[in-house]
A and B are shown apart, each in its own frame.
Chain A
Amino acid sequence: MTEGQLRLRLSRLLHSRAAGWLLALLLGALALFSAIALLALSGWFITAAALAGMATGYMLDVFRPAAIIRLLALTRTLGRYGERLASHQAALGLLRDLRSAVFRRISHARQLPRRSNEAMHRLVADIDLLDQFPLRVLLPWIWASLMALLLLGFLALLDSRLLLAAAPGVCLAWVLPWLGYWRGGRLARADVEWAEARRSFLLDSLRLLTPLLIWQRWPGRAAAFTAQDQQYLAQQDRQQRLISRLTLLQQWALAASLLMVLWQGSLLIEDGLTVPLLLAAALALLGLNEALLPVAGSFVALGLSQAARDRLQALGRADQPTPEHDRPVPQAPFTLHLQQLSLRWPGALSGPSDLDLQLYSGQTLLVIGPSGGGKSTLLHWLAGEPIQRQGRALLNGHPPDHWDLAGVIGWLPQDVDIFDMPLADNLRLGNPAASDAQLWRVLEDVALADWARERGLDTPLGEQGSAVSGGQARRIALARLLLAERPILLLDEPFAGLDAATREQVMQALLRRQRDGLLIIASHQPVSAPDLQVVRVGG
C-alpha cells in the first residue's frame, strides 16, 4: 500500500457509493423543487382563478394546474423520503467500511496506539462525524445553489427588473454562511479535541474509581470532570450560536429580498406583470428559505468532518507496513547462541549485559535476577520488540532477523490481555480451529480444568478479565499461548500467584509440550526441569 492509498479524502468518501449519492442528490432536488413549486403554483392558481372569476368570459384551464398541484404534493413527500433513505443508506455503509479499514490500519501499523481510549473514540465517534460532509455540506450546498439559480432564472423570465430587485438579498443569503468558514472550522476542530479529552478523562477516572474513593480524591476528580464537561458543552454552545446567528442574517437577507420583490412588483403591475405571477414569485422566494437555511451550519459540519479526518489520518501516520520479505521459517531442532549480548530499551540507561549462553531443543532456560534487572527486557527482545542489541545472537546459525518468527515464538508478557469474550473464544484466539477436546486438554495443563468444569467453556471473563482473578487470567493467557503451539516459548513470570503443587503440575505440562522446542522462563520462583540452564540477569 502506498501513502496515497492510505489517505482519507473527504471527497473520495463519495466514490465508493456514487450511485447511492447521485440518487439522493436527484431525489432531494426533486423534493425541494416540488415543495417550492407547490406553494408558488397554488398561489398562482387561486389568483388566476380570482382574476378569471372577476373577468367574465375569461377562461382558465383548471385541470392541468390542479393535476400538477396534486403531483407536486406527492413528489415532495416521496422525493424527501427517498432521498433520506438513499443518502443514509450510503452514509452508514460508508461508516461501516471506514471502521473496518481504520481498524485494519491501526492493527497493522508498526506503532500500536499509545492510548487505546483515544483510538476507540476515533473508531466510534470520529468516524461517525465523517458522514457530515456529504449529508450536511455537499448535498445541501448543491441543493441550495440549484434552487437559488432556478428562482433567479424564473424571476429573469418574468422581468429583469424583478431579478435585479431579488438578486442582492438572495446572493447575500447564499454568501453569508461562508462567513462561518473560518470560525466554524476552528470551533469544530476544537470540538473533537474537547470530546476526546472528556472521554479519556472519564474513562481514566472510572478505571481508578476505587483507589480514588479510598484516598478521598474522588470528589476532586468528579468536580474536574464536571468542569471539563461544562467546557465541552460551552464549546458546543458556541457552535450553535454561530449557526443561529448566520441563520438569522440569512433570514433577514431573504426578507429584504422579498420586500424588494413586492415593492418592485407593485410598480411592474402597471407595466404588464400579472398579479398571479408576482404572487408565484413572492411565494417561491418564501419557499427558498427551506433550501438556503440548512447551509448555515454547513461549515461547522465541514470542520467537524475535517478534524475527524485529520485525527484518523494521524492514527495511521506511523504506519509503515512491515516488509513482507519471504523469510524462511526455522525448523526444529532449535539452537540459540548468545555471545556477549547486551540489550537496551531505546533511551534506557541500563539493561542486561554480557550474556553468554547456548540453548538446544528440549532444554529449559530459567532467567533469574532482581526486579528491574532486565529479565523482561531479554524476553521482550527475544519476542522481537525493538530493542538495541550489542554482541552476537544466532538462532539456528543465523541472526534472528533472518527468520520469520511470527508463528514460531510464543510470548507470555507480564501484563496479559484477557478479552471480554467467553473463555472458549479467548482461548481460540490462539488457535481458531481448536476443538473442545483440545481446549480441555490445555486447561488441564494449566490446572484450570476443575475451575472451568464448574463454570463451563462459555463462562464470560469480563472486561480485561475482571470476572476472574489475576492468577487465573495469567493461566488462561498461558493456555491460549499453548494452543497456538509455538515451538519457542518465552514465559514472563508464568507461576506468579500459584502454589508449589500447581506450579509443578503446570511445569510438567510445559516440559511435555516443549520436548522438541525451546522453553525460556523468567521467574523468581524455583523451577525444576531435567535439562535446566539458569542465567542471571542484572547482578
Chain B
Amino acid sequence: MTATEPAGRWLQRLVQGQRRLLGLALVLALTSAVLFILQSWIIADLFGHWLQSASGAGQGAPGAGWWPILLLCLLLRPLLQFFRERLCQQASWRARNALRQLLLQRLAALGPARRALGPDAQLGSQLLEQVDALDGYISRYQVQRQLVLWVPLLLLLATAWHSLLAAALLLVTAPLVPLFMVLLGHTAAAASQRQFAALGRMSGRFLDLLRGLRTLRHLQALPAAQSAVEQAAEDYRSRTMGVLRLAFLSTAVLELFASIAIAMLALYLGMGLLGLLPWSPGEAPVSYQSALFILLLAPEFYAPLRQLGSDYHARAEARAAVEGMLPILQLEDDGEAAHRRHVSAQPGVGNPMPDGSAGAVSIHCHHLSVSDVGIPARLPPLSLQLKPGDRLLVQGPSGSGKSTLIHALLGFLPYQGELLINGQPLHSLDRSAWNARVSYLAQQPELLPGSVADNLRLAAPQATDVRLIHVLQEVGLWELLRRLPLQLNTPLGERGLGLSGGQLSRLALARLLLRDTPVWLLDEPLAHLDSDTARGIGELLERLSRGRTLLLVSHEDTGLEWLERRIRLEVGHD
C-alpha cells in the first residue's frame, strides 16, 4: 500500500541499502526475546519451589543448575541490546549521509533555478534537520516493526503452552493496538509535516531578519521584526505541541491497553489460584509456576507494541520529512522528460564540446526564448549570432530578461528555440565541458568568509601568489592590499565586509581574469564602479577579451564604448 506513494517508495529505497545491518539487529533482538522467556521460566520455577517448601509440601531446594543459566540470561540480554543499538545506529548513519549526498547533487543540477524550491535557509534545513529526522525511522522503527510481530508471537506460544485462556486474553487485546496506531499514525504524519513546514518558515524568517538587522535598526523597525520573530516562534511552538499531543495520546492509549491487560491477567490468575473462578470453583486452572511465568511474560508482550507506538511517530516524522524533500528528490524522474532541452548535469552524459579552431567558441541563437519553466525567469524570443571573438553588449531595462539570457546560455534554464555552440545544440552538450569554457560574473559578487587569496583561488585553485598579485594589479586592487599588514591573506567578512562596493567588483573581476576561458558572460560588471575606474576596467576588459567570445549585459555604457555590437532587449508584455 505504502509502496505506491512516492514518499513511501523513497523511504523503502533508503532502508533497502541498510538491509544487512538491520537484519542482523533483528536476529539479536529475537535471540534476546528467547533468552527472556528462558529467564522468566527460571524465575517462575525458583519461586514455585520456594512456595512449595514454604507451604510445607516441600520438594527441597530448586535445581542448582538454574543459577548459572539465570546469570547468563541476565548478562547476555543487555549485551545483545547493546549490539543491536550499535548496528541500527550504523545503518541510520550511513543512510542519512547517502541521502544528503543525493539531495545536494540534485540541487547542484538546478543551479540558480533552485530558488524556485525555496530560500537557501529552507533548503539547508531540509538537507540537515529533515534528513536527520529520518534517524528514528531507520535506527528504531525498522527493527521494531518486525519485532512487534515476532516477539508477541513467541510469548503467545509460550503462554498458550500453559494457559489457553491467558493466551486468548493477550490475543484479543493485541490487534486493537496496531489498529489504533494506524488511525493515529495518519493524522500524525500530516501534523509532522506541518511542523516541519513551520520549522523551515521559522528558520527562513530568522535568517532573513538577522541578515538585515542593520537596516531594521536604522529604519527603527525592530518592533515589527520582533513581532515577526514572536509570531514565527509561536507558530512553531503550537505546531510542535500539536504533533506531540497526538504522539502522547497514541502512546497513552497503547499503555492503557497494556496496563489493563496486565491487571486483568493478574486478577484472572490470582482468582484461579484461589479457586474463585465461577466456571471452575475450588480448582486452579493454571498452576502457580505457570501463572507466575505468564505474569512475567505479559509486560514484555506489550512492550514491543508500546515501543512501536512511540516509534510510529518516527515513521510519521520520516514520511513528513521525505515528503518535504520530494520536490528535490523527484527532479530527475519528472524533470528529465519535461525539460528535454536542458543541459544534463551529469558529467560525461552529453556530447563532448566541439572545438572550433584554437579553442574558439561561436554562439548561435535562433528564436531563443525562456518561459513557463516554473520559476520567475523569462526571455522573449531572441536571435543573435556570435562568431568566435565577437563581442556583444546587451542593453535593456530591468526585467527585460538580460540575466535570464545569461542563465540560459550557461545551461541552467530549459529553453525553447535554437541555441548552438560551435554548431551543436547546447542541451546536447556535457555541462562540465561547457562550463570549462565559460567565465561568468554575477551582479553581486559572491564571496566566502576567508582571505582575499582564498576567494581568488576558488576560481583557480592552482594559481600562485605571483599570479594572484598579477591579476590584482590588473584590476587596481593590489595597491590597496599591498599596504595592509596581511596583504593577500587579508580576511573578508560576510558579503565581503571591509571592502567597498567598487573594490568588491574589482575582486570579482580579478577572479574572472584568473580563468582563461574562450567565452565570457558578464552581468553588469561595471555597475558599481565610478566612471574613471569603469573606464580603466573597461579598457582592461577590451584588451583581455580580444579573441574571446564576449556577451556583456549592462545598463550603462561608460567604459564600454569600445563594444561596437549592441542589441537592446525590451520588457515583454503579455
Q: Which residues of A contact B (CB under 8 A)?
A: 38-39, 41-43, 45-55, 60, 62, 65-66, 69-70, 72-74, 76-78, 80-81, 84-85, 88-89, 92-93, 95-96, 99-100, 103-104, 106-108, 112-117, 119-120, 123-125, 195, 198-199, 202-204, 206-218, 222, 225-226, 229-230, 233-234, 236-237, 240-241, 244-245, 247-248, 251-252, 255, 258-259, 262-263, 266, 269, 274-275, 278-279, 282, 349, 368-372, 376, 383, 406-407, 410-411, 413-421, 428-430, 432, 451, 462-464, 466-467, 469-472, 477, 480-481, 484, 493, 496-499, 524-525
Contact = CB atoms under 8 A, between A and B. Distances in A.
B317 to A, nearest CB: 15
A462 B219 contact: no
Interface string B209-229: 111111111111110111001
* Interface SS of A by simple majority: helix
Interface stretch (B156-164, B238-246, B333-341, B538-546): B238-246
Contacts of B438: 214
A60 B216 contact: no
B524 A43 contact: no
* 4 nearest A-B residue pairs (beta carbon): A371-B502, A417-B212, A524-B530, A463-B119
- Majority-rule SS of B interface residues: helix
B100 to A, nearest CB: 6
A92 B121 contact: no
Q: Which of A76, A210, A274 has the most CB of B within 10 A?
A: A210
Contacts of A203: 120-121, 124
B234 A96 contact: yes
Residue among A217, A241, A417 having the largest count of chain B Cβ atoms under 10 Å? A417
Contacts of B57: 54
A55 B54 CA distance: 11
Contacts of A123: 206, 210
A253 B2 CA distance: 43
B211 A116 contact: yes
Given A92-B241, A417-B215, A470-B527, A49 B273 contact: yes
Interface in B395-454: 397-399, 403, 410, 412, 432, 435-436, 438-440, 442-444, 446, 448-449
A471 B555 contact: yes
Given A204-B449, A237-B93, A45 B266 contact: yes
Interface stretch (B9-17, B102-110, B141-149, B366-374): B102-110
A92 B240 contact: yes
Interface string B92-129: 01001100110011011001101100011101110111
Contacts of B269: 46, 49
Contacts of B77: 251
B459 interface: yes
B266 A462 contact: no
B483 A349 contact: yes
A241 B262 CA distance: 34
Contacts of A477: 215
Contact of A233 (B96, B119, B208): B96
A472 B274 contact: no
Interface in B288-306: 288, 291-292, 295, 299
B324 interface: no
B202 interface: yes
Interface residues of B, number: 154
A204 B114 CA distance: 15
Given A237-B89, A266-B50, A419-B209, 7 more contacts: A52-B273, A100-B226, A107-B213, A213-B108, A214-B438, A269-B54, A463-B208
Contacts of A466: 115, 119
A471 B398 contact: yes
Nearest to A416: B215
B501 A371 contact: yes
Given A69-B266, A419-B212, A432-B224, A80 B252 contact: yes
A216 B436 contact: yes
B495 interface: yes
Given A46-B270, A95-B237, A100-B233, A70 B86 contact: no
Interface in B491-514: 493-495, 500-503, 505-506
B210 A417 contact: no
B51 A470 contact: no
A88 B248 CA distance: 10
Contacts of A120: 121, 203, 206-207, 210
Contacts of A212: 458
Contact of B527 (A428, A480, A496): A496
Contacts of B230: 96, 99-100
B398 A472 contact: yes
26 contacts: A42-B270, A42-B295, A46-B270, A46-B273, A50-B291, A62-B270, A74-B256, A81-B251, A93-B237, A107-B222, A119-B206, A123-B210, A124-B199, A124-B203, A206-B123, A210-B410, A233-B97, A237-B90, A278-B50, A371-B529, A371-B530, A383-B218, A417-B216, A462-B115, A469-B403, A477-B215
A81 B245 CA distance: 9
A104 B226 contact: yes
B224 to A, nearest CB: 6
A252 B502 CA distance: 69
Interface in B154-208: 199, 202-208
A204 B219 contact: no
Contacts of A262: 43, 46
B292 A480 contact: no
Contact of B107 (A55, A206, A244, A275): A206
Contacts of A41: 266
B255 A76 contact: yes
Contacts of A49: 269-274
B53 interface: yes
With most chain B CB atoms within 10 A of its CB, the pick from A100, A234, A247 is A100
B509 to A, nearest CB: 12
B47 interface: yes
Contacts of A124: 125, 199, 202-203, 206
Given A89-B241, A96-B234, A214-B439, A43 B292 contact: yes
A469 B399 contact: yes
Contacts of A259: 67, 70-71, 74
Nearest to B44: A279
Contacts of A229: 97, 100
A365 to B, nearest CB: 17
Contact of B55 (A55, A62, A245, A417): A55
B276 A222 contact: no
B71 A222 contact: no
A236 B94 CA distance: 13
B348 interface: no
